[in-house]
Amino acid sequence: MLLCSACAAPGPIPPPLKPPSEDSTQQLLHKSALFNSPAISLKTPDEHILAVNAEMRYFVNEQVPAALSPRARLRYLSDALVRPSLLGIEYQPGVTQSAADTFANRRGDCLSLTSLFIALAREAKLDAYFNEVSVPPSWELLSDNRSAIYKHINAVVELGNGQREVVDFSVDIYDYRYPQKRVSDDIAAAQYYSNLGVSALHNDNYDDAYLYLRRALHLGPEEAYIWGNLGVLFRRGGYNSEAELAFSQALSLDPEESASLSNLARLYRSSGRKERAKQLEQVIASRQRDNPFWHYSRSRAAFERGDYAQALNAIKRAIRLDKNEYRFYQFAAVIFRSQGNTDKYHEYGLKAAHAKLKQSH
């Protein structure tokens, strides 16, 4: 967990896409029959991700003295969460749970751990809220020539007198320089259901995926990436017209939604609309050329193939585009070491250390 005091230039705009009508996009949330899903009302209430049970209340009462200052209460709570002899929570990517389930299982992804922290912090009378961080995609998030938009989330605690602290449970991901913004509890819940929907989609459970994604869009109808996820579900199910609507809606909300742009280009090409596909592909190629993290991903892929020359060319391009990212220097050092170039290995190792130190300040 990281406690610290507390945020990409947009790429080319895609060719004009006709925004779908509101009626047509709303109809996408009433397609249960396509997936043999029960037609549950979107207004049906469910237990919120921040719900607190008696055991959680007891934990706060025992571990966080109420008479302390907000900053001291924050420290007590943070220590109780991570100390192995107390709760001992662990960060585990890909495990999305509610605050109560995370408390019981003591592990989860950034959203799960943040939800647990916020639920307990509010129980300790701390002013805590969700903070969404736009993390650049790295090589771990790219596979099979497909990119993913990663919505990292952490917490901010207001301590009074203009003081605040960021609480983050994945130190290797968060950087205070990344664009970030406060988001509501409902938007965090929308991300929760979107994560569950994507997990169900990966397991080919289209029925549950649809129920989760429609719930996510009910809570966060302006979240472009969730419309993109819904488009992937329709595309996988063979419903291309619905998929095109969902991808178009995502891009109408956010022209920078690169995953939807790539998916729509593939849909156009597979359906014979080659000119439209080509237009989008040109935008995608331009964005990739100007994205240092894309070159970083290419370097990692080349390195895994044993092509050290190409890996070095790609990582040097990434460094030219962003001279402040320590991971680029770090990986360049790894490549030089594999080539047996000890001098360059030490040179880039030092550059990585200096860049990381500069970021920390």
- Containing structural domain, residue 296: 292-360
Q: Provide the pLDDT for residue 118.
A: 98
The total of structural domains in the chain comes to 2
Q: Strand locations in the chain, DSSP E?
A: 2-5, 90-91, 107-108, 127-134, 151-160, 163-168, 180-183
Domain boundary among the residues 163, 196, 213 is at 213
DSSP-based three-state secondary structure for 163: strand
pLDDT over 90 at 100, yes or no: yes
User: Average per-residue pLDDT in the chain?
Assistant: 85
In a shared domain, residues 201 and 301: no
Residue 361's pLDDT band, with cuts at 50, 70 and 90, is low
Per the model's pLDDT, the better-predicted residue between 179 and 31 turns out to be 31
Residue 345's pLDDT band, with cuts at 50, 70 and 90, is very high
Residue 240 lies in a domain: no
Residue 138's pLDDT band, with cuts at 50, 70 and 90, is very low
In a shared domain, residues 304 and 177: no
Q: Provide the pLDDT for residue 320.
A: 92
Q: Provide the pLDDT for residue 312.
A: 95
Q: Are 116 and 48 in contact (CB under 8 A)?
A: no
**% residues pLDDT > 90 (the chain):** 57
CA 210 to chain centre: 20
Q: In CATH, what number is assigned to the domain containing residue 182?
A: 3.10.620
Residue 146's pLDDT band, with cuts at 50, 70 and 90, is very low
Q: Provide the pLDDT for residue 327.
A: 86
In a shared domain, residues 54 and 160: yes
Residue 198 lies in a domain: yes
Q: What is the mean pLDDT of residues 339-360?
A: 89
In a shared domain, residues 23 and 137: yes
Q: Note the maximum CA span of the chain.
A: 68
117: Cα within 13 Å, side-chain hemisphere: 38
Domain boundary among the residues 168, 188, 213 is at 213
Q: What is the mean pLDDT of residues 31-53?
A: 79
In a shared domain, residues 86 and 183: yes
Per the model's pLDDT, the better-predicted residue between 361 and 203 turns out to be 203
pTM of the model: 0.77
Which stretch, 43-52, 67-76, 305-314, has highest mean pLDDT?
A: 67-76
Residue 233 lies in a domain: no
Q: In CATH, what number is assigned to the domain containing residue 349?
A: 1.25.40.10
Domain boundary among the residues 178, 213, 248 is at 213
In a shared domain, residues 37 and 145: yes
Q: Supply 342's token pair.
A: 């000890």
